[in-house]
């Protein structure tokens, strides 16, 4: 007999989400992930000053705001023909690195650990219902200590960000050309000192903590696989003198790695709460000539529609070559060849921790190559009409911003977030999103406390605040009729 499990809220993620799963013989036979928050950033951005996108889009997400400042800045630079200096790129990537560390440390300790470690129950916040806590007392105690210790470390990652970024969340440092201020020696050494402490914590504590969990929950190496398709827009790559410190834009499917071509990206809305004349479209091609011609189409925005019968989420379905892809730390560790142990809930969790160490090392390299006191700001003029895209990997994976400027204001904005890739709804042909697929076959021991599902979903580090701001337009490439 089929039993239905509904988990809502899925706590310890950013934003609001529901998991629905059908269970037969204690195994998941069908699953849906639903994003339950809608704001409509893409529509809000229309008519605003292009410069303001750098600050405005950060408000999409409180835990990964720097990511949006970077992607919007890249899109603006592309549209305006501004090439940042190498020093500007180093500094911007250092700021972004601070956020990777903040995000990965908080995700591992505050969002993931409570699934596996019994936290002290004299705190009401830590009351947990399931009983699948397997660590022996002494090891459990070590991880409880780490939970609290990590709070100081992740906070210091944001402190490091603020040294050059003004404040966090929602920094003021990232901007066209590089960063706003100059990296003076006192600031460089302050960042180096904080980074040193963070690196030590990752190396001495975080790595052994994740391997402790892996040892006692080794069945999670066989749960939560998904499709095994990986995608990255690349990061810490293509520096003039330093080359690629992490990875280039790549995709992996059917056992083969190839170079990413952004033209293969589409988004579908068949199972999301939107209606449009077509259900599949493509982020625009960045040729300004085409842009003006498609202006009329651009203005025909699909509407939010919660009455659409088969829809179940605010998250759309980004696809690459019409296939769902996973993006994030495991995708990057896999594509760069740094970690290829396997594809599972536990591998995803381990890859995030390994990546934290990698990012700290890359940041150190970039810091060593800084020249102090370099100014990189100019008086920028907004073009009358232009278009640009900013594709970059962020803590959770591949993030894309596409924008058009007309009459010196934003006329079009599209955002495809990492969590839209990972937590996507089904394709038009019914193919599940990556996380939905990862839930398939999961054994559920206690149907009243299905802790297994949340563990797998959290391994993707969902950010539903990011994934469900969508309100799209753009050039349509085919004509599939949807419910009017």
User: Which residues in 352-381 contact other proteins (CB under 8 A)?
Assistant: 375-381
Place of tokens 């809608």: 38
Q: In terms of CB distance, is 298 or 465 closer to other proteins?
A: 465
- In eight-state DSSP terms, residue 57 is G
123 binds other proteins per the rule CB under 8 A = yes
138 binds other proteins per the rule CB under 8 A = no
CB of 482 to other proteins, least distance (A): 19
Q: Which of residues 89-108 bind other proteins (CB under 8 A)?
A: 106
Residue selected from 28, 31, 63, 405 as contacting other proteins according to rule CB under 8 A: 63
- Within 415-472, residue ranges assigned H as helices are 418-422, 434-439, 451-459, 464-467
Burial class (CB in 10 A: 0-12, 13-18, 19+), 295: middle
CB of 325 to other proteins, least distance (A): 25
CB of 312 to other proteins, least distance (A): 12
- In eight-state DSSP terms, residue 218 is G
Residue selected from 266, 344, 465, 472 as contacting other proteins according to rule CB under 8 A: 465
Q: Which of residues 207-246 bind other proteins (CB under 8 A)?
A: none
483 binds other proteins per the rule CB under 8 A = no
b/e for 36-65, b at 16 or more Cβ within 10 A?
bebeebbbbbbeeebbebbbbbbbbbebbb
Encoded tokens for 301: 């925005």
Total number of residues that touch other proteins (CB under 8 A): 81
Residue 299, classed as helix, strand or coil, is: coil
383 binds other proteins per the rule CB under 8 A = no
**41, 401 contact by CB (below 8 A):** no
Residue selected from 146, 156, 417, 472 as contacting other proteins according to rule CB under 8 A: 156
144 binds other proteins per the rule CB under 8 A = no
From 179-187, 222-230, 240-248, 277-285, span contacting other proteins (CB under 8 A)? 179-187
Q: Which of residues 287-316 bind other proteins (CB under 8 A)?
A: 304, 306
- In eight-state DSSP terms, residue 369 is T
60 binds other proteins per the rule CB under 8 A = yes
CB of 130 to other proteins, least distance (A): 9
Burial class (CB in 10 A: 0-12, 13-18, 19+), 457: buried
Residues in contact with other proteins, shown as a per-residue x/- string from 182 to 211 under the rule CB under 8 A: x-------x---------------------
155 binds other proteins per the rule CB under 8 A = yes
CB of 248 to other proteins, least distance (A): 30
167 binds other proteins per the rule CB under 8 A = yes
Residue 172, classed as helix, strand or coil, is: coil
CB of 474 to other proteins, least distance (A): 17
| Spatial distance between the Cα atoms of 184 and 370, rounded to a whole number of angstroms | 10
Q: In terms of CB distance, is 105 or 251 closer to other proteins?
A: 105
| Spatial distance between the Cα atoms of 285 and 263, rounded to a whole number of angstroms | 8
The DSSP line for 104-140 is HHHIIIIIIGGGTS---TTSGGG--------S-HHHH
Q: In terms of CB distance, is 142 or 304 closer to other proteins?
A: 304
Residue selected from 69, 112, 180, 237 as contacting other proteins according to rule CB under 8 A: 180
b/e for 107-137, b at 16 or more Cβ within 10 A?
bbbebbbbbbbbbeeeeeeeeeeeeeeebee
From 42-50, 73-81, 197-205, 347-355, span contacting other proteins (CB under 8 A)? 42-50
Q: Which of residues 7-36 bind other proteins (CB under 8 A)?
A: 7-16, 18, 36
Q: In terms of CB distance, is 118 or 342 closer to other proteins?
A: 118
| Spatial distance between the Cα atoms of 15 and 35, rounded to a whole number of angstroms | 8
Cβ-Cβ contacts under 8 Å for 112 (sequence gap 6 or more)? 12, 349, 458, 459
Q: Left, alpha or beta for 234 (phi > 0: left; psi -120 to 50: alpha)?
A: left
Q: In terms of CB distance, is 55 or 221 closer to other proteins?
A: 55
């Amino acid at each position: 007999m089929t039993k239905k499990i509904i988990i809502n809220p899925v706590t310890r993620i950013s934003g609001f989400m529901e998991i629905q799963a059908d269970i037969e013989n204690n195994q998941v036979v069908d699953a849906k992930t639903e994003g339950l928050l809608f704001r409509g950033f893409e529509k809000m951005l229309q008519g605003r000053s292009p410069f303001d996108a750098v600050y405005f889009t950060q408000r999409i997400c409180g835990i990964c705001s720097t990511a949006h400042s970077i992607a919007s800045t890249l899109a603006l630079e592309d549209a305006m023909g501004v090439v940042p200096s190498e020093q500007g790129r180093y500094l911007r990537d250092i700021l972004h690195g601070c956020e990777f560390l903040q995000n990965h440390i908080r995700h591992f300790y505050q969002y993931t650990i409570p699934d596996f470690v019994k936290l002290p129950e004299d705190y009401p916040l830590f009351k947990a219902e399931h009983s699948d806590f397997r660590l022996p007392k002494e090891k459990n105690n070590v991880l409880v200590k780490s939970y609290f210790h990590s709070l100081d470390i992740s906070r210091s990652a944001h402190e490091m960000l603020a040294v050059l970024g003004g404040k966090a969340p929602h920094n003021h440092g990232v901007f066209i050309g590089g960063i706003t201020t100059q990296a003076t020696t006192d600031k460089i050494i302050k960042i180096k000192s904080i980074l040193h402490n963070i690196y030590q914590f990752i190396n001495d504590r975080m790595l052994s903590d994740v391997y402790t969990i892996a040892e006692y929950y080794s069945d999670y190496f066989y749960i939560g696989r998904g499709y095994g398709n990986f995608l990255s827009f690349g990061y810490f790559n293509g520096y003039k003198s330093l080359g690629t410190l992490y990875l280039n834009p790549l995709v992996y499917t059917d056992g083969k790695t190839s170079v990413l071509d952004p033209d293969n990206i589409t988004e579908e809305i068949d199972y999301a709460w939107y209606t449009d004349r077509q259900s599949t479209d493509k982020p625009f091609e960045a040729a300004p000539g085409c842009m003006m011609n498609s202006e009329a189409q651009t203005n025909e925005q699909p509407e939010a529609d919660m009455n659409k019968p088969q829809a179940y989420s605010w998250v759309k379905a980004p696809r690459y070559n019409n296939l769902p892809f996973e993006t994030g730390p495991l995708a990057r560790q896999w594509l760069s060849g740094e970690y290829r142990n396997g594809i599972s809930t536990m591998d995803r969790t381990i890859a995030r921790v390994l990546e934290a160490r990698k990012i700290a090392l890359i940041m150190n390299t970039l810091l060593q190559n800084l020249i102090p006191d370099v100014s990189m700001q100019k008086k920028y003029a907004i073009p009358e009409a232009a278009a640009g895209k900013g594709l970059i990997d962020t803590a959770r994976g591949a993030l894309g911003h596409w924008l058009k400027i007309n009459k010196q204001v934003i006329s079009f904005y599209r955002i495809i977030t990492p969590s839209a890739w990972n937590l996507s709804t089904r394709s038009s042909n019914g193919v599940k999103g990556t996380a939905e697929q990862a839930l398939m076959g999961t054994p559920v021991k206690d149907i009243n406390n299905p802790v297994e599902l949340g563990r797998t979903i959290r391994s993707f580090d969902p950010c539903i605040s990011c994934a469900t701001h969508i309100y799209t337009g753009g050039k349509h490439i085919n004509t599939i009729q949807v419910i009017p």
